[in-house]
């Protein structure tokens, strides 16, 4: 266990953010993950970090605040916290975030209070989030078990946290033998080949169909770029944004989505589960929606701003990916999105448009690049999913059949 923990922390620092000597490191961590956060800090200093800052978050306190704070308090965001992120980001900090939330941490909290706090944070951190999504900084999202999350994933296991650790180590290719970095190099090479396949065709649209009721056409803007696995900062430094990752992704044209899509896994939003999600799009916008559970939270999501009801990401993940084959439902987007093809409502990555990182907001919108305060992934992959690409000259090309890539 000790060898695997050390290898995982080293992987996050050296492969995840690829920390260089003299660079600041920011670690976002739940207080339940303190031991591993300190391990990351030790690896960061060992790699030559200029300094390491851990930003703690506490879901139990957050729930107390959401339930009891005044509306004025919820509608404000501390400037000191905004400056903490921006000052470090402008100093070229690398950012590691531990995503390990209880999927139902805020069950029963009034939807409008959660939405108010999210809106305040989104507006305050708008510039910071734009930097991150434009790859001005190296960033990496990882996960560490917490008791509440582990019990949700493995409710009948006596030692659910140990079981979740085993599942996480498997998905991030950590065996404790010191070979994780080499395994990740081979994996990111595969994802690069998949991206090259899609970029070579430069499809004008993708058509999704499965037996659950998904029948969706997604137009792709001129100059869109598929990415995945290893990425580069604007300064040319290679990093891996998600550990694990099994996806390649691009952006849709925000006014070019039509049809119906049915989610195949729960969506965790604001500490609540949304299940049975079904969306119908016309001219890029959600015009009707359904949910078996969490409908009010889905409605709040879609009403966040004008861009929240449009798509900002299209991601392809084989149904036979290692995470999917594990059969584990993680109730955590970092893992579940890498077990399934997925889409995202909200903000698009400007890195997925040729020249996009040099464009301002209005220029991006003119190219069909969606903008929003949020970016929320939901899973749509299934064993029978078929995706067909259409070329500029009208040729249909199979991309996915029976839930997996065709050969490339």
- The answer to whether the CB of 19 falls within 8 A of the CB of 47 is yes
- Crossing angle (nearest 10°) for helices 2-11 and 180-201: 40
Residue 408: pLDDT above 90?
A: no
Which two tokens mark 176?
């404790």
SS3 content of the chain, % helix, strand, coil (to 5): 40, 25, 40
Model pLDDT, residue 256: 98
Of 18, 60, 62, whose CA–CA distance to 43 is shortest?
A: 18
Model's pTM, two decimal places? 0.92
- The answer to whether the CB of 101 falls within 8 A of the CB of 150 is no
Distance from C-alpha of 80 to C-alpha of 69, rounded to nearest angstrom: 19
Distance from C-alpha of 239 to C-alpha of 234, rounded to nearest angstrom: 11
Distance from C-alpha of 281 to C-alpha of 218, rounded to nearest angstrom: 10
Q: Which residue ranges form the domains of the chain, and what is each CATH number?
A: 2-171 (3.40.1830.10), 201-226+245-405 (no CATH)
User: Which pLDDT band, with edges at 50, 70 and 90, does 3 fall under?
Assistant: very high
- The answer to whether the CB of 204 falls within 8 A of the CB of 220 is yes
Task: List pLDDT tens digits, range 172-230.
Answer: 999 999 999 999 999 999 999 999 999 999 999 999 999 999 999 999 999 999 999 99
User: Which pLDDT band, with edges at 50, 70 and 90, does 407 fall under?
Assistant: confident
Distance from C-alpha of 11 to C-alpha of 285, rounded to nearest angstrom: 39
Give the strand pairing for 139-142 and 94-98.
parallel
β-partners of residue 230 are 240
- The single-letter DSSP state of residue 378 is E
- Crossing angle (nearest 10°) for helices 111-124 and 59-68: 110
Verify cis geometry, omega within 30 degrees of 0, for the bond prior to 244: yes
Task: List pLDDT tens digits, range 111-137.
Answer: 999 999 999 999 999 999 999 999 999
Q: Mean pLDDT in the chain?
A: 96
Task: List pLDDT tens digits, range 228-285.
Answer: 999 999 999 999 999 999 999 999 999 999 999 999 999 999 999 999 999 999 999 9
Which residue's entry shows tokens 């006014």?
Answer: 255
Task: List pLDDT tens digits, range 310-335.
Answer: 999 999 999 998 899 899 999 999 99
């Amino acid at each position: 266990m000790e060898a695997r923990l050390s290898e995982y922390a080293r992987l996050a620092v050296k492969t995840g953010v690829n920390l260089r000597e003299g660079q600041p490191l920011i670690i976002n961590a739940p207080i339940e993950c303190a031991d591993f956060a300190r391990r990351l800090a030790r690896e960061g200093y060992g790699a030559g970090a200029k300094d390491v800052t851990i930003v703690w978050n506490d879901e139990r306190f957050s729930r107390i605040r959401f339930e009891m704070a005044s509306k004025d308090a919820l509608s404000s965001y501390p400037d000191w916290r905004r400056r903490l992120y921006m000052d470090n980001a402008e100093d070229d900090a690398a950012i590691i975030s531990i995503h390990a939330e209880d999927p139902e941490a805020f069950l029963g909290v009034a939807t409008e209070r959660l939405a108010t706090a999210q809106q305040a944070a989104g507006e305050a951190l708008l510039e910071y989030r734009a930097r991150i999504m434009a790859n001005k900084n190296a960033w990496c999202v990882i996960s560490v078990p917490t008791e509440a999350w582990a019990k949700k994933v493995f409710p009948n296991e006596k030692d659910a946290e140990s079981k979740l650790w085993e599942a996480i180590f498997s998905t991030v290719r950590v065996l404790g033998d010191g070979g994780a970095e080499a395994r990740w190099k081979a994996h990111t090479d595969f994802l690069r080949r998949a991206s090259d396949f899609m970029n070579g065709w430069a499809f004008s649209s993708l058509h999704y169909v499965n037996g659950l009721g998904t029948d969706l056409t997604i137009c792709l803007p001129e100059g869109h770029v598929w990415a995945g696995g290893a990425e580069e900062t604007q300064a040319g430094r290679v990093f891996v944004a998600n550990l694990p990752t099994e996806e390649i992704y691009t952006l849709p044209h925000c006014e070019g989505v039509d049809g119906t899509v049915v989610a195949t896994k729960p969506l965790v939003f604001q500490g609540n589960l949304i299940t049975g999600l079904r969306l119908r799009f016309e001219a890029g916008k959600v015009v009707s929606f359904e949910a078996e559970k969490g409908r009010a939270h889905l409605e709040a999501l879609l009403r966040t701003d004008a861009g929240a009801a449009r798509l900002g990401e299209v991601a392809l993940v084989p149904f036979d990916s290692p995470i999917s084959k594990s059969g584990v439902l993680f109730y955590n987007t970092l893992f579940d999105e890498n077990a399934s093809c997925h889409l995202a409502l909200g903000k698009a990555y400007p890195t997925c448009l040729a020249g996009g990182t040099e464009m301002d907001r209005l220029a991006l919108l003119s190219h069909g690049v969606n903008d929003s305060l949020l970016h929320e992934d939901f899973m749509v992959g299934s064993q029978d999913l078929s995706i067909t690409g259409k070329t500029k000259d009208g040729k249909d090309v199979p991309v996915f059949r029976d839930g997996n890539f065709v050969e490339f």
